[in-house]
Chain A
Amino acid sequence: MEGTGVVILGPNGSGKTTLLRLLCGLLMPTEGRIRWELEGETFSPTQARSLVGAVLPDCEPYDELTATENLQLVADFRGIDKRRIGEWLERVQLNHAAHQPVRTFSSGMRWRLKLAMALLHEPLALLLDEPTALLDRQGRQLVDEVIAEQKRRGLVLVATNDERDIAYGEEQIILGDKGIGERHR
């Protein structure tokens, strides 16, 4: 699935977010196993965390810290040069709020910061949960650009119930009442 987009569709409660959390290793499956495969080598979700960036609900930045301080944390955890922080703040249009505490952010600003935190280490796979739900038109444009760039680098998984987001993926996985129902290419 490298160099491609996969859209995970399903109604509320079908397990889209749960699936993304399983892929990140934040949840353990009750049956089966999850493995990431990269050109013949397989990794567990925990091993693959350095390859993955995720924007998920319940995975929030620190409210008491500024946007810059949150990104500095990511840089320290991921072993990244902190000079890239300024580039990413500009990219997600948060450079004007770089030194404001995150608790003052709107929901759209907070989502943009989470996107920057997920992309700072240039992951091979980007997992997005309902990426456009909180964004204005400018924000949707940003998501379009980010996804297009990510597809050139690797894989994008988008979980959504917004039909406008279907275009993000060449492949669709539809979740039903009993798990994965259909797959389309």
Chain B
Amino acid sequence: MAKSKSSWATKVSAKGTVEPFHAGWWRQVVAIARKDVLIEWRTRHAVITALAFALVSLTVASLSVGSLRDEPNLSAGILWVILFFASCLSLSRAFTKEEDARTADFLRLTAEPSAVFFGKFLFNLLLLTLVAFVTVPLFLAVMALTVKVIRWLVVAVGMAMAGMAAIGTMVGAMLAKAQSRAPLLGVAAFPLFFPALAAALQATAASFGAAPDAKDALRFLSAYTGAAVLAGLLLFEAVWSTPER
């Protein structure tokens, strides 16, 4: 044999895995995120679907309610309905496309589960950030809203999108093999995302002038998002890999 026992056996550590946050792990994370960005750039499927939904929803909302200048709570509610469902539309494809194209097993055979989660999470975060970047300013313009404290709005949207990306990545992997998986993601993710959504609503409404302070809501949102990402890193292998006897 070309290689000695020690070189082969040491290649397989006690857990047989690449430890998270080591150089090799980051290489895998970047490769997965870059792969998804490249494919999305060439197909533009998820971003067009999400933006089309957001723009249609904005148009309908604008036509039906007109200006929401004096309705900060209602404004926040409508904005987050649009953002939540637009996010679900883009997140539902993250793993279903792997199963449909029969590339999921290639990932299972070659990449670390935690790296698959974090790479997919980073891509989903990029996607949702893009959707929010287009949708939120348009919403403000169409609804003639004035933002009283812009940093609260920015942090609320950023943190909530990150939390949605983490939860959506986990739930998307769980549902990838289900039959009615696209609509299921919104249903399955909502209970997990609800606490973050409530905090995001509160902080967004405060940024529109509904309340004098958003710090508590933003602190909760940040902690919840951090916990969602950590939970994904720890639990993803259980939903992604084949369990062993």
Determine if B244 and A46 form an interchain contact, defined as CB atoms under 8 angstroms apart: yes
With A60-B101, A62-B103, A78-B110 in contact, do A3 and B1 touch (Cβ < 8 Å)? yes
A139 at the interface (CB under 8 A from B): no
B42 at the interface (CB under 8 A from A): yes
Determine if A79 and B16 form an interchain contact, defined as CB atoms under 8 angstroms apart: no
Residues of A within 8 A of B15 (CB): 47
Categorize the interface residue count of chain B: 35 or more
Distance in Å: Cβ of B239 to nearest Cβ of chain A? 14
Determine if B110 and A74 form an interchain contact, defined as CB atoms under 8 angstroms apart: yes
With A26-B109, A28-B243, A46-B241 in contact, do A62 and B27 touch (Cβ < 8 Å)? no
A contacts with B: majority SS: loop
Distance in Å: Cβ of B229 to nearest Cβ of chain A? 22
Determine if A60 and B241 form an interchain contact, defined as CB atoms under 8 angstroms apart: no
Determine if B105 and A59 form an interchain contact, defined as CB atoms under 8 angstroms apart: yes
Q: Count A-B pairs with CB separation below 8 Å.
A: 107
Chain A contributes a number of interface residues (CB within 8 A of B) equal to 47
Residues of B within 8 A of A38 (CB): 5, 8-9
Distance in Å: Cβ of B39 to nearest Cβ of chain A? 5
Distance in Å: Cβ of A27 to nearest Cβ of chain B? 6
Determine if A41 and B9 form an interchain contact, defined as CB atoms under 8 angstroms apart: yes
Determine if A44 and B28 form an interchain contact, defined as CB atoms under 8 angstroms apart: no
Q: Mark A27-39, 1 if CB is under 8 A from B, else 0.
A: 1110011000011
B188 at the interface (CB under 8 A from A): no
- A26–B108 Cα distance when bound, in Å, is 8
Stretch at the interface among B30-38, B122-130, B140-148: B30-38
- A137–B43 Cα distance when bound, in Å, is 36
Determine if B28 and A64 form an interchain contact, defined as CB atoms under 8 angstroms apart: no
Determine if B5 and A50 form an interchain contact, defined as CB atoms under 8 angstroms apart: no
B242 at the interface (CB under 8 A from A): yes
- A166–B201 Cα distance when bound, in Å, is 66
Contact of A124 among B8, B27, B35, B244 (CB under 8 A): B8
Residues of A within 8 A of B243 (CB): 28
- A102–B2 Cα distance when bound, in Å, is 32
- A2–B245 Cα distance when bound, in Å, is 25
- A176–B41 Cα distance when bound, in Å, is 48
Distance in Å: Cβ of A156 to nearest Cβ of chain B? 13
Distance in Å: Cβ of B38 to nearest Cβ of chain A? 7
Question: Among A39, A48, A50, A76, which residue has the most Cβ atoms of chain B within 10 A?
Answer: A76
- A122–B2 Cα distance when bound, in Å, is 10
Determine if B16 and A61 form an interchain contact, defined as CB atoms under 8 angstroms apart: no
Determine if B16 and A48 form an interchain contact, defined as CB atoms under 8 angstroms apart: yes
